Each structure stands twice: as C-alpha cells, then as structure tokens.
Amino acid sequence: MTRLADDPAVVQRIFDHIDNRSTDRAESTWREPVASYRDPARFERELAHVLRRTPTPFCPSAALTGAGAYLARSAAGVPLVAVRGRDGSARVFRNACRHRGMQVAEGAGCKRVLVCPYHAWTYDLDGSLRGVPHEDGFPGLDKAARGLVPVASLERHGLVFVDQDGADAMPDLDEIGGLLTPEHRVIGSSEQEVEANWKIVTEGFLEGYHLQALHPDTFYPIQFDNLNVVERFGRNDRIAFPYRRIERQREAPAAERSAEKVLTYVYHLFPNVMLVTFATNITMVVVEPIAVDRSRLVNYTLTRRDPGEPEQRDKLDRDLQFIAAGTAQDLGAARAIQRGLASGANEFFEFGLFEGAIGHFHRMLHELADAPA
C-alpha cells in the first residue's frame, strides 16, 4: 500500500506542473477493447467477480444517524438494506423477507423494527425474526433460523463497507482516515439513471484531460486543463484537480500549504465509488451497474457546515449548483460515448499517459474479472 502525499507535497507538485506546463504521466498507455463495454457476458462477470466480491462502500456512516436508521438500495444488482442497531453497530442485510421475498424496506428513514409490507413479518434491528402474524399457520417454523440474511459489512473511516461474497478481507484504507469525520452529516442524496455502461461513467471522474473541451463554462474557468497529480494506493487512486487560486499558496511557507479550497481531490475507491472534496462539502458518488448499457448514479452530499445558517446555506447552494452543472456535462458525454459504441468505429479505446488512473482501473478490473471462477 502506497502512502499518499500530504497537502504541502501535493501543492508543490502542482506548482512544478504549472511552472513546467506539465502534468502527471503514467508509465504507459492503455487500450481497452470496446467489447468490454458491450458484451453482456463480460458485464455479468464484472458483477459476479468484481462488484460482489470486492469490499466496497455502501453508504456514509452519517446516513445512519441513530438506532433504527436505515438505508435501502441495490448494489451490484442485489437489494440490500443497512440498519443502525440499538447497540450502535451498522449491519447490512439482503433486503428480502424470509417468507415470500418481498423487500422489507425502501429508501431511507428510521424505524423501531422492519416490517414486511406484504404479510407483516417483523424483524428486529439486528435482523432477527421477531414476529409472525398467525404463527400457528407455520408449524415447525424455526424463527431463529429465519432472520434477515446478513451481508459481510464493516464500518470504518465514516463509511459502511459491504462484501456480498464475503470472501475478501475488508479494507483498512487508512489513506482516507480523517476525510469523513463524526461532524459530517448527510444534507442531501439523489439517484439518477444514466444510459451508459458503468465503466464509462466512472472514467469521467478519473482524468482532467477533458476539462477545457467539455467544461468551458463550469470547471475549466476555475481549474486547469490537463493538470493533475495522480496517486495510487492499492487498487485505488487519488486524483488532485487544482483551482487557479492555488497560486495564493505560493506565498505561504512550504510546510504550511493547504489543499483546502484550492483543489478538489477525487478518491476512487475501487471499483465504483468516488469521494470528491469541495470547499463546502464532500460528495460520495456510487456508480451502480444496472445493465450493460445503463447505470445508476447515487450521490450523498456531506458537510460539516450548518445548512440552517443562511450564509452557510447560500455557500452550499452555490457549490451544489456548480457541481450539478459540471456533472450534467460529464453524464451527457457518457451517454454520447455509449451511443458511439454502436458506430463500430473503434475496436478499442486508447487511454493516454494523462489518463493513467483509468488504465489502473481497467488493469484491476481485468485482474479480477478475468480470473477463474
């Protein structure tokens, strides 16, 4: 595991790039076959061998604020529900009643127990089957063996991780320690469907080579085109996107230079989660595969600011509007790339030296998806 550079070192690397008109470069380019984005069999292997076998963040800890708080959504095509127990622990279960399989929770909220809306089988916050209406109609029912089915999970660094296969060790990921603090709270969440393969959507977060061309009226006026610091830690990456106002840091003593408000970090937590830092908030982005040509973008917005204070609310709203405008451009590009796949023009996509984080992403995907079952 490679240790990430501290803020002063990242800022200095950015100054070096500004002065030399350069950016971080990978050791080699990467060619990814277009078939990888179109083949349904490949898509199923990615779900089975990567997304369900790799421990991945499911939700922020701050989404489960107290006993009974729950959050339900699908991950890698499997409906799951995370619940905060009375003992303070976060647990994740397969979201299906043990009677007839109906989902016991939808969306997010807080409940004393989880009740199946079909026949009212009732489950405690630890997943145990607590009540069965007209239980005499189920002679021999072993309630102790019919609780909600748990999924391996771990709460660490402000995130709830899940491993659906349960075969891999949960990650330490100490490199993101301190990024999400107990003071962070979720102030908004959203989901939207994107008519594009999940890898295409993910790739848009992992390079700054497109900033000037795609974001001329959003990100580019305040950021640099094709100027990034790219770091790798295990299967994961961190990409720094500096703002032009970073120049103000030149006057500060080298050891005191800070990344706060002068750059955005994108932490790519392999395979499909990004933590993105902004001046007023951190956004957790989950790119959930739905089909070979469709994805669902799930966003959680977290902040330490008080959204009830008018001045802080105004700053948050301005940031969120700015982020939404840039994101809309990225998703428009993803949709256009997906449509372009049908042209037959390309046998492969070539990711250049400036797009090393994407090459690393695909290298890790192939390592797992192409491994024997």
Distance of alpha carbon 293 from alpha carbon 346, whole angstroms: 17
The pLDDT score that the predictor gives to residue 162 is 97
The pLDDT score that the predictor gives to residue 1 is 45
Q: Average pLDDT by consecutive 10-residue portion of the chain (373 residues)?
A: 87 98 98 98 97 96 97 98 98 98 98 98 98 97 97 96 86 92 96 98 98 97 97 97 97 94 97 97 98 98 94 94 97 98 97 98 96 77
Distance of alpha carbon 182 from alpha carbon 193, whole angstroms: 30
Burial class (CB within 10 angstroms; exposed 0-12, middle 13-18, buried 19+) of 170: middle
The boundaries of every CATH 3.90.380.10 domain in the chain are 7-54+181-369
Distance of alpha carbon 196 from alpha carbon 334, whole angstroms: 6
Check whether domain 56-163 has CATH 2.102.10.10, yes or no: yes
CATH number of 7-54+181-369: 3.90.380.10
Three-class secondary structure of residue 78 per DSSP: strand
The boundaries of every CATH 2.102.10.10 domain in the chain are 56-163
Three-class secondary structure of residue 155 per DSSP: strand
The pLDDT score that the predictor gives to residue 351 is 98
The pLDDT score that the predictor gives to residue 371 is 84
